[in-house]
Chain A
Amino acid sequence: MSLLQIDQLNLAIHGTPILRDVSFHLDAGQIVGVIGESGSGKSMTAYSVMQLLPEGSTTTGAIRLNGDNLLDLSEEQMCALRGDELGMVFQEPMTALNPVKSIGDQVAETVRIHRKASRAESLRIARETLDRVELPADRFPLSRFPHELSGGQRQRVVIAMAIALRPKVLIADEPTTALDVTTQAQILKLLRRLVREDNMALMLISHDLAVVSDLADEIVIMKSGTVVETGSAKTLFQSMTHPYTKKLFEASSHVPDRAEAESRTAAPLLKVSHVSRDYALPRTSLFAPPPKFRAVNDVSFQIQQGESLGLVGESGCGKSTLTRAILGLEEVQEGTILIDGVPVFSGHQVRRDIRQKMQVVFQDPYGSFNPRHRVARLVCEPFHLLDRPPRGAARAEAVAEALESVGLDEADGRKYIHEFSGGQRQRIAIARALIIKPKLIVLDEAVSALDVSIRAQILDLLADLSDRFGLTYLFISHDLSVVRSITDRVLVMKAGQIVEEGRTDAVFDNPQHAYTQSLIAAAPRLPDRQEQKEVSQ
């Protein structure tokens, strides 16, 4: 008998079926990866195990922990299990901790709730647990508050809360999705170590095939509330009987077909020279000037016409600041940014003819559009930059052309944005960027929020558009695999500086700078299906 056995689990919320006949099991010391795209029901499976479902949920089937069906237990009995036998770690470490309580108190609370331990005793256990999750006492005393910690450190505190009593089962719901790749690698390593030490069962939920395949012993693939395939991690990717598994795997490692960029000798389209940008920090003294934080530090690079350049870095490295400066949304203190040889800022203004040459696609497909306007009006927004924007039939034609070029229909222009899915919205964002035929398109994490299968389609579209219209891309991302698949050259940014620059395959195959090496080493990798030997470390 397994430690945790999920049997024919069905879940409906207010009558809407969410899960159908979900069955899989976990054994002690085993890591089971649950993979699925959004709406697959993977998180709801986890909440079913914890019995922390939204109001109006009805479950049938069985979830057996050591043979006891959790669905039959009272709320009181479940409270006794949660935190003691069952631990859970959540996706968003920034909000998972109570901001007004110290980390020591929050970890100790797990102990105090379940054991008749004194405050001193539970704080002692909290200290031990924080040491176990590698938050040493000298730098992380129990009196620290969550806002004094980084995202990765907070996630360690959340893990400490979950494992303080050494539970038998730990559920981790997208535990590293909100974290940088190097932090992600450390957290995954920590989870693996804890599983070994405590002989715990770990249910690792993720949208990222690579993250799970690196770590899991067993893999469960979910889609639309059902389990489509399960198997051992070693063999599942070789066999892949279900077409969805195949599709998911292919989308995750998708490389769009692109025409090789011809090397040109013409003047660069974008030339960034010695750019620096400082931010004033809050004053520490009334008399001294406020301290400064240098977000971008002496950055220089250029992009040739028709080239696709990647800019990679972790959060806080300065890539967003640099992007805003290039787009003319924020001035820099030092250095120049030239588009076609003309500076972006003249005085404190950005000239319209400069803005005409570049457009942008942002990350969040939900926040990128004014919900009150129809798609046709949204797509036309950049016409504001033209001296004579097309009107009437010419305008309608331009909209139709832009929408059709991204694989949408002319009729879609009459709809509102909430009628579209995330992937379609990102296509509309691209149509908006294309409509004034700019030379440079800045793609700011443009595919990061999309499910892998949608992401693959958007990458194909971008490759196709650049071939057709000779577009130049500046592709900003934290995701190495995406940058690798779509760019010719890549810049690696760290702490405001560019630490490495080169042809994409050269940088990825043979990184020179220590930071690039650590980034590439930390990135989770998919198992190679065709057994090709690809050892690039």
Chain B
Amino acid sequence: MLRYTLKRLLSLSVSLLVASIIIFLAIEVVPGDPASYMLGINAQPDTIAALREELGLNVSAVERYVNWVSGMLTGNFGTSYTYRTPVVDMIGDRMWISLPLALYALLLSTLIAFPAGILAASKRGSVADTLVMGITQLGVAIPNFWFAMLMVLVFAINLRWFSAGGFPGWDGGFWLAVKALTLPAVSLALPQASILARVMRSALLDTLGEDFVRSARAKGLNRRQALWRHALRNAMIPVLTIIGLQFSFLLAGAIIIENVFFLPGLGRLVFQSISQRDLIVVESVVMLLVFAVVIVNFSVDIAYALVDPRLRRRS
């Protein structure tokens, strides 16, 4: 298990390293000099040179890369080209909207998908199964941001159960913040829950056809017991894979959904930075998101090993 964890950690670090290089290079190829862009066309050459030095742009690309990475490791994400404030301050608060939103949605998605998938698989061919399959078919096809708009129309504007947007901040009380994130999280979660429920159902049906389930039935377990005690844990392996993938989709989705609900999260920051060509912010946000995705995938790998003893083979 320790070997396995170390191996996964190693591959995690390599992924992050390569991702950081790709992101850095992508931003590198952008034509133009941020310093002259920031100071406008009438700036004096020596002012530009001074700013370049201040921004750390007067050194080689390799040095800049090393500075960027080591800066991020120590919590220094550089200075925004547009606002001249530390990027880390701009990301700080916003991160605590986007990440909790994605996690909230992941939680909801799992909580909806598991019972639905298990129900559909255990009563295959029944009305419940047909219903779950029909609803999920729609759920998979619905664009989450449109679904969010419809939710706003119904639950915020017509029923007035929730506010149509905005975020009171975590200081204003935990539940208030959760309430503000609920509509966005639900609209993110339902399409993903549909996918997950279908994966859960088909993984369970596959596993229910395995020889060891037949062995379990020969021991005297009824269908229900065979499903819960034997099929479910084996079916978790493909389901975990999807959960890992979904997090990255949910994170990306969160960035889009923030627009619908006027949430001041990373999404609004990144789109704003793109239009203002504040590339250092884009660079940092993307790296941060990749970091979150990689960490979640690492957790999924560890979960695999907990589910499947074949992976935690002792050497």
Which residues of A come within 8 Å of B, CB atoms?
50, 52, 75-76, 79-84, 87-88, 90, 92, 95-102, 109-110, 113-114, 145, 147, 158, 161-162, 284
| Interface contact B220-A83, CB-CB below 8 Å | yes
Number of interface residues of B (CB under 8 A): 23
| Interface contact B234-A50, CB-CB below 8 Å | no
16 A-B pairs with C-beta separation under 8 A: A52-B217, A52-B218, A80-B220, A82-B218, A90-B211, A98-B215, A98-B230, A100-B233, A109-B216, A109-B229, A110-B220, A147-B309, A147-B310, A158-B215, A162-B219, A284-B315
The answer to whether residues A99 and B220 also contact, given A109-B229, A113-B225, A147-B310 and a CB cut-off of 8 A, is no
Which residue from chain B places its CB closest to the CB of A157 in the assembled complex?
B215
| Interface contact B219-A99, CB-CB below 8 Å | no
Interface string of B138-155 (1 = CB under 8 A from A): 000000000000000000
Per a CB cutoff under 8 Å, which of A76, A88, A284 touches B218? A88
B217 to chain A, nearest CB (A): 6
| Contact residues in B for A76 (Cβ distance below 8 Å) | 222
**Cα distance A329–B93 when bound, in Å?**
61
| Interface contact B211-A92, CB-CB below 8 Å | yes
**Cα distance A76–B224 when bound, in Å?**
11
Q: Does B89 contact A (CB under 8 A)?
A: no
Q: Does B54 contact A (CB under 8 A)?
A: no
| Interface contact B212-A50, CB-CB below 8 Å | no
**Cα distance A147–B309 when bound, in Å?**
9
Q: Does B214 contact A (CB under 8 A)?
A: yes
Which residue from chain A places its CB closest to the CB of B308 in the assembled complex?
A100
Interface string of B118-142 (1 = CB under 8 A from A): 0000000000000000000000000
For B214, B219, B230, which residue has the most chain A Cβ atoms within 10 angstroms?
A: B219
Per a CB cutoff under 8 Å, which of B216, B219, B220, B234 touches A100? B234
A22 to chain B, nearest CB (A): 20
| Contact residues in B for A102 (Cβ distance below 8 Å) | 309
Which residue from chain B places its CB closest to the CB of A94 in the assembled complex?
B211
Which residue from chain A places its CB closest to the CB of B312 in the assembled complex?
A145
**Cα distance A147–B308 when bound, in Å?**
11
B194 to chain A, nearest CB (A): 27
The answer to whether residues A95 and B307 also contact, given A80-B220, A83-B218 and a CB cut-off of 8 A, is no
**Cα distance A284–B3 when bound, in Å?**
10
Q: Does B53 contact A (CB under 8 A)?
A: no
Is chain B's binding surface mostly helix, strand, loop or mixed?
A: helix
| Interface contact A83-B212, CB-CB below 8 Å | no
| Contact residues in B for A92 (Cβ distance below 8 Å) | 211
Which residue from chain B places its CB closest to the CB of A102 in the assembled complex?
B309
| Interface contact A82-B220, CB-CB below 8 Å | yes
| Interface contact B211-A96, CB-CB below 8 Å | yes
For A52, A81, A96, which residue has the most chain B Cβ atoms within 10 angstroms?
A: A96
| Interface contact B307-A75, CB-CB below 8 Å | no
**Cα distance A50–B308 when bound, in Å?**
30
| Interface contact A95-B212, CB-CB below 8 Å | yes
| Contact residues in B for A147 (Cβ distance below 8 Å) | 309-310, 313
Interface string of B300-312 (1 = CB under 8 A from A): 0000000111100
Since A52-B218, A99-B234, A109-B216 are in contact, a sample of 16 more A-B pairs with Cβ atoms closer than 8 Å, ordered by chain A residue number, is A79-B220, A79-B222, A83-B220, A84-B220, A95-B211, A96-B214, A97-B212, A99-B308, A99-B310, A100-B307, A101-B233, A110-B219, A110-B220, A113-B225, A147-B313, A161-B219
A119 to chain B, nearest CB (A): 14
B299 to chain A, nearest CB (A): 19
| Contact residues in B for A96 (Cβ distance below 8 Å) | 211-212, 214-215
Q: Does B221 contact A (CB under 8 A)?
A: yes
B220 to chain A, nearest CB (A): 3
**Cα distance A536–B212 when bound, in Å?**
41
| Contact residues in A for B216 (Cβ distance below 8 Å) | 98, 109
| Interface contact A113-B219, CB-CB below 8 Å | yes
Which residue from chain A places its CB closest to the CB of B222 in the assembled complex?
A79
For B214, B220, B307, which residue has the most chain A Cβ atoms within 10 angstroms?
A: B220
B219 to chain A, nearest CB (A): 4
Q: Give residues of chain B (277-315) contacting chain A, Cβ–Cβ below 8 Å.
A: 307-310, 313, 315
| Contact residues in B for A90 (Cβ distance below 8 Å) | 211, 214-215, 218
| Contact residues in A for B221 (Cβ distance below 8 Å) | 79, 83, 109, 113
Q: Does B210 contact A (CB under 8 A)?
A: yes
B233 to chain A, nearest CB (A): 5
| Contact residues in B for A52 (Cβ distance below 8 Å) | 214, 217-218
For B215, B217, B225, B313, which residue has the most chain A Cβ atoms within 10 angstroms?
A: B215
| Contact residues in B for A97 (Cβ distance below 8 Å) | 212, 215
B286 to chain A, nearest CB (A): 33
Interface string of B198-233 (1 = CB under 8 A from A): 000000000000111011111111100100011001
| Contact residues in A for B308 (Cβ distance below 8 Å) | 99-100
**Cα distance A145–B308 when bound, in Å?**
10
Q: Give residues of chain B (148-185) contacting chain A, Cβ–Cβ below 8 Å.
A: none
| Contact residues in A for B222 (Cβ distance below 8 Å) | 75-76, 79
A425 to chain B, nearest CB (A): 26
